[in-house]
Amino acid sequence: MRRRYIQARDGHLIEVTQERSSLPSRSPEIMRDIKSYRSMIDGTWISSRSRHREHLKAHNCVEVGNDASLHRQPKPLESPPGLKKMLIEVANEKLRWKE
């Protein structure tokens, strides 16, 4: 049997006991349907989860939530060719002493 412990501030280990559910570990989960709502896009009534998905797809929208794919860092923009050389030339011109 697996045991879990946490360390107290004084350094002693305290066993953590958890109540086990009587349900099997792989029991199916049932997700309820969503409540009806009025779309903010066009004002139509959305009455089911499937209609919600269709509506978002039809209007090219994305539901923001805890989807990890939406939290990715954007790819850095590539600079146009020759930009670095142009910046160096401009900086050198500005720094030259005019006599």
DSSP bridge pairs for 38: 45
pLDDT at 99 over 50: no
Q: Is the dihedral of CA 91, 92, 95, 98 positive or negative?
A: negative
The secondary element (H helix, E strand) that includes residue 79 is none
More confident residue, 53 or 19: 53
**pLDDT at position 46:** 93
Q: What is the largest CA-CA distance in the chain?
A: 90
Determine, yes or no, domain membership for 80: no
pLDDT band at 22 (very low <50, low <70, confident <90, very high): low
The verdict on residue 92 lying in a domain is no
Mean predicted lDDT score pLDDT of the chain? 82
CB 47 within 8 Å of CB 33: no
Q: Which two tokens stand for residue 85?
A: 């050389």
The residue written with tokens 């401009």 in the block is 90
Phi and psi of 6, rounded to 5°? -125, 150
Q: Assess if residue 55 is contained within a domain.
A: yes
The whole-number pLDDT of residue 59 equals 93
The percentage of the chain sitting over the pLDDT mark of 90, rounded to a whole number, equals 28
Q: How many domains does the chain have?
A: 1
> What's the domain range around 40?
31-63
Query: What local confidence, expressed as pLDDT, does residue 36 receive?
Result: 93
